[in-house]
């Protein structure tokens, strides 16, 4: 399928839906039909009023029967309510006969993915053919501002209507339901996206897009952009006419002749609106390619079509690598065939690499979520169940627990990630190191370092990946919007020789990759040894026959046997933002924390951050309400950190107080304040999870911590320089190697603007 023929409507035969197996009849006229006014396009997060009119079919509707309007579970439009006619999202219902309609709304009224449902039941009467039920969403007649639209773009937002015409409790979907389009808002932010590591004269591209307030690429930008590269770039135009109607532009066939650190500044009306890079140009064996390999579309639990998903990854978030990962229990055979067709169609060595795959979605009790990536198309899918699939002809191919999955994949050319989504992977229940090469420790669901570190004590040797696990059709640029997702989606950087499926696949097997919470930071981590060491091509615990070589230097992901108890860790970073800290870790222990500044550099800038989760399961979201009062000081300025949920409060409430209402899911958020400081003053921090009082003179370079229980839940307070310009780091760190078991040597980098990056560990053990 050519890229120009992108499907924007989810085809019914590709959707795994399990509606009631019985119904009153088969003729659609029996159930009636529904219409919606107004029709058309509606801007994200705008306020609207919709009138849905259901006309009763030939069966009529009996007393206590009714209709149900269902919506996809992750939609972050306003929660419907019937209690306050002057508040947002007020809903009313009536009949043309005057018969009473009772309305109820529940976020779990129906089945996946249509969890959210408004039920309109008839009480004290009946309706005959041609009668109507009218539901007004965002009824403004009594003062409501209207219904809030969702924060993300969707070309086919469906008011899916079901009818229980015989009052038996079975709601049967109508043959057609009304749809509208949710469109992007005005441009708020420009993005310029470059790769991070290329060789001289190697081709690369520059991606340009404008995003609205909620992170949607918008087609409403109409301007002229100019480019100022820090070094000469062949084929880069000086100007670009960016015209309305397009959501992105990709400038191809760029190259730089000589080694350098390249940035490209983008100007609109002489104002710098974006900076692309940094891109390191240098000779070497490896270059870097960026991917988001985990997300899904509207054929299962997401939105948009699978073809739109791949188009977004390639042309709007400017990824090099992607995969589609639908929940297996909703992948019918037609959709599995279609996904394989799409990955084959979009696969283009040297430009865009795809992998066919799926999410094995077993419950945590039987192993939990895994991502399966095949090297080639046409392989058998082994589902965790057929929970939403009427098909039964291939049910014997299911793998009902993770051990069975690994057994069935034994002879497959594939790799597997463990991850944390709604379910989380239980790596103590099952793990196959020959297939399960990585742990996904960050996604839109949050940050989960524990998924990797749990494996250290079990002897697992896995790399780090980060992805979006997005459901909104935006792989590589997945914003949380206003729903229960509290984090921006992650990215994985693959360090390998070339952009081919074979090269990326080998990179995965060798763990030569690192993950970030969404930024494109260049990272290299090497371990250097004075004495020669043994580097294994594969994990010798799993493959005793593996080949080996004698070296003095290894990179992230490598497995190495040493005779010395000393090593030097070499870290190279090039970041878009100043670096706040680098944590050098051996397993679960942080053995050194490096900051590119000293106590003497600190000024009146104080950072307060909150982090953590409730527990490992679905209800991991931690809500934070708090206040920081700076006694004896006045707030001169505030800067938010990871304030992704735009409608939650984080603001200066008086000249010495900041108040917040926030959410974390293992990740962190917070703020910086610059104070007109009084050293004799103090700060009082009061939250729903504890309190902390600190004299201002005690706030310095090191974290002051309020332990708030839960899963890594805490508040940290520390001081930063007023200006930190350290974006490029090249440092060496001395390490001691324990004689007992593995030494997983890895780093965690935190940038001042709130992003994090983790290297895959180097697994070092002594002979």
Listed by start position, the domains of the chain span 31-183, 189-281, 287-589+742-766, 601-721
For 715, how many CA atoms within 13 A lie in the half-sphere containing its CB? 26
Quick one: pLDDT band at residue 4, thresholds 50, 70, 90?
very low
pLDDT at 422: 85
- E-assigned strand segments in 179-255: 179-183, 189-193, 197-198, 204-211, 223-229, 239-242, 249-254
Quick one: pLDDT band at residue 1, thresholds 50, 70, 90?
very low
Q: Which CATH number is 601-721 given? A: 2.60.40
Note the pTM of the prediction, 2 decimals. Answer: 0.96
Q: How far is CA 95 from CA 101, 120, 553, in A?
A: 7, 11, 77
pLDDT at 174 over 70: yes
- E-assigned strand segments in 258-328: 260-268, 271-281, 287-292, 321-323
Q: What is the largest CA-CA distance in the chain?
A: 90
pLDDT digits (tens, 9 = 90+) for 611-657: 999 999 888 999 999 999 999 999 999 999 999 999 999 999 999 99
We find that the CATH architecture of domain 287-589+742-766 is Alpha-Beta Barrel (3.20)
- The CATH T-level fold of domain 31-183 is Immunoglobulin-like (2.60.40)
Residue 331, token pair as written in the block: 């992948």
pLDDT digits (tens, 9 = 90+) for 531-589: 999 999 999 999 999 999 999 999 999 999 999 899 999 999 999 999 999 999 999 99
Closest CA relative to residue 324, chosen from 292, 351, 348, 350: 292
Closest CA relative to residue 490, chosen from 458, 450, 445, 547: 445
Minimum mean pLDDT range among 110-114, 223-227, 417-421, 731-735: 110-114
In a 3-state reduction of DSSP, which class is residue 271?
Answer: strand
Closest CA relative to residue 184, chosen from 398, 472, 396: 472
Q: Is the dihedral of CA 738, 739, 743, 745 positive or negative?
A: positive
CA-angle at 286, arms to 284 and 291, nearest 5°: 145
Q: Which helix (DSSP H) or strand (DSSP E) does residue 339 occupy?
A: helix 333-346
Determine the Cα–Cα distance for residues 659 and 625; give it in Å rounded to an integer. 8
CA-angle at 211, arms to 210 and 217, nearest 5°: 90
Residues 331 and 380: beta-carbon distance below 8 Å: no
What would the mean pLDDT of 584-596 be, rounded to a whole number?
98
Residues 169 and 225: beta-carbon distance below 8 Å: no
Report DSSP letters for 617-640, one per residue.
Answer: STT--EEEEEEEEEET-EEEEEEE
* Buried b or exposed e, range 646-657, using 16+ CB within 10 angstroms: bebebeeeeebe
CATH assignment of 189-281, among 3.30.1370.10, 2.60.40.10, 2.30.110.10, 3.40.1160.10: 2.60.40.10
Quick one: pLDDT band at residue 522, thresholds 50, 70, 90?
very high
pLDDT digits (tens, 9 = 90+) for 215-243: 999 999 999 999 999 999 999 999 999 99
pLDDT at 588: 97
Residues 184 and 44: beta-carbon distance below 8 Å: yes
Quick one: pLDDT band at residue 2, thresholds 50, 70, 90?
very low
Report DSSP letters for 347-396, one per residue.
Answer: -BTTTBEEE-EEEE---GGGT--EEEEESSSSPPP--S--TT----TTGG
- Cα torsion through 432, 434, 435, 438, rounded to 10: 90
In a 3-state reduction of DSSP, which class is residue 343?
Answer: helix
- Bridge-based pairing of strands 100-106 and 147-148 is unpaired
Count of beta carbons in the 10 Å neighbourhood of residue 119: 20
Closest CA relative to residue 127, chosen from 24, 32, 22: 32
pLDDT digits (tens, 9 = 90+) for 434-487: 999 999 999 999 999 999 999 999 999 999 999 999 999 999 999 999 877 779
Same topology for domains 189-281 and 287-589+742-766, yes or no? no
């Amino acid at each position: 399928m050519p890229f120009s023929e992108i499907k924007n409507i989810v085809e019914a035969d590709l959707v795994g839906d399990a509606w009631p197996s019985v119904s009153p009849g088969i003729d659609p006229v029996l159930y009636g039909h529904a219409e919606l006014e107004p029709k058309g396009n509606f801007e994200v997060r705008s306020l609207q009023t919709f009138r849905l009119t259901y006309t009763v079919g030939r069966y009529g509707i009996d007393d206590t029967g009714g209709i149900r309007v269902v919506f996809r579970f992750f939609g972050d439009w306003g929660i419907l309510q019937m209690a306050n006619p002057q508040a947002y999202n007020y809903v009313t219902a009536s009949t043309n006969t005057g018969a009473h309609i009772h309305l109820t709304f529940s976020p779990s009224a129906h089945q996946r993915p249509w969890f959210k449902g408004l039920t309109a039941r008839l009480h004290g009467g009946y309706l005959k053919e041609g009668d109507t039920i009218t539901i007004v969403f965002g009824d403004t007649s009594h003062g409501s501002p209207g219904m809030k639209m969702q924060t993300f773009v969707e070309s086919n937002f469906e008011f899916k209507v079901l009818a229980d015409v015989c009052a038996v409790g079975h709601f049967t979907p109508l043959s057609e339901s009304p749809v509208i389009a949710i469109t992007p808002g005005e441009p708020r932010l420009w993005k310029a996206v470059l790769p991070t590591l290329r060789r001289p004269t190697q081709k690369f591209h520059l991606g340009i897009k404008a995003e609205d307030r909620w992170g949607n690429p918008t087609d409403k930008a109409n301007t002229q952009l100019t480019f100022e590269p820090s070094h000469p770039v062949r084929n880069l135009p000086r100007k670009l006419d960016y015209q309305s109607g397009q959501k992105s532009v990709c400038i191809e066939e760029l190259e730089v002749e000589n080694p350098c650190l390249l940035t490209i500044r983008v100007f609109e009306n002489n104002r710098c609106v974006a900076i692309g890079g940094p891109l390191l140009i240098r000779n070497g064996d490896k270059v870097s390619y960026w991917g988001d390999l985990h997300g899904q579309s509207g054929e299962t639990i997401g939105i948009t079509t699978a073809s739109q998903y791949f188009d977004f990854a390639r042309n709007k978030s400017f990824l090099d690598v992607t995969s589609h990962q639908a929940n297996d229990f909703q992948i019918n055979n037609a959709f599995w065939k279609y996904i394989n067709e799409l990955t084959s169609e979009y696969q283009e060595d040297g430009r865009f690499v795809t992998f066919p795959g799926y999410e094995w979605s077993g419950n945590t009790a039987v192993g939990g979520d895994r991502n399966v990536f095949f090297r080639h198309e046409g392989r058998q899918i082994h589902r965790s169940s057929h929970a939403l699939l009427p098909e039964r002809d291939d049910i014997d191919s299911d793998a009902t627990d993770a051990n069975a999955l690994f057994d069935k994949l034994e002879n497959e050319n594939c790799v597997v990630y463990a991850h944390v989504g709604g379910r989380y992977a239980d790596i103590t229940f099952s793990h196959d190191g020959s297939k399960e090469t990585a742990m996904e420790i960050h996604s839109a669901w949050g940050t989960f370092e524990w998924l990797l570190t749990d494996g250290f004590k079990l002897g697992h040797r896995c790399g780090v990946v980060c992805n979006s696990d997005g459901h909104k059709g935006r792989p590589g640029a997945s914003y949380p919007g206003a729903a229960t997702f509290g984090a921006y989606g992650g990215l994985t950087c693959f360090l390998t020789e070339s952009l081919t499926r074979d090269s990326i696949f080998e990179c995965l097997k060798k763990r030569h990759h690192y993950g970030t919470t969404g930024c494109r930071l260049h990272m290299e981590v090497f371990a250097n040894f004075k004495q020669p060491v043994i580097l294994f091509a594969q994990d010798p615990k799993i493959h005793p026959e593996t080949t080996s070589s004698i070296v003095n230097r290894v990179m992230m992901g490598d497995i190495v046997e040493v005779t010395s108890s000393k090593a030097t860790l070499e870290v190279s970073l090039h970041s878009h933002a100043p670096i706040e800290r680098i944590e050098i870790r051996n397993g679960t222990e942080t053995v050194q924390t490096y900051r590119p500044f000293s106590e003497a550099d600190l000024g009146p800038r104080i950072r307060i951050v909150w982090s953590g989760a409730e527990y490992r399961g679905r209800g991991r979201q931690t809500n934070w309400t708090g206040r920081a009062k700076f006694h004896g000081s006045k707030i001169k300025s505030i800067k938010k950190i990871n304030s992704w949920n735009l409608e939650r409060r984080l603001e200066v409430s008086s000249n010495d107080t900041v108040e917040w209402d926030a959410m974390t899911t293992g990740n962190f958020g917070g703020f910086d304040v610059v104070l007109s400081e009084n050293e004799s003053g103090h700060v009082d921090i009061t939250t729903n999870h504890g309190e902390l009082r600190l004299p201002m003179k005690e706030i310095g370079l090191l974290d002051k911590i309020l332990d708030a229980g839960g899963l890594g839940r805490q508040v940290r307070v520390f001081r930063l320089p007023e200006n930190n310009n350290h974006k490029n780091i090249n440092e060496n760190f001395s390490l001691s190697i324990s004689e007992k078991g593995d030494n997983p040597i890895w780093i965690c980098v935190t940038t001042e603007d709130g992003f994090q990056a983790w290297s895959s560990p180097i697994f070092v053990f002594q002979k």
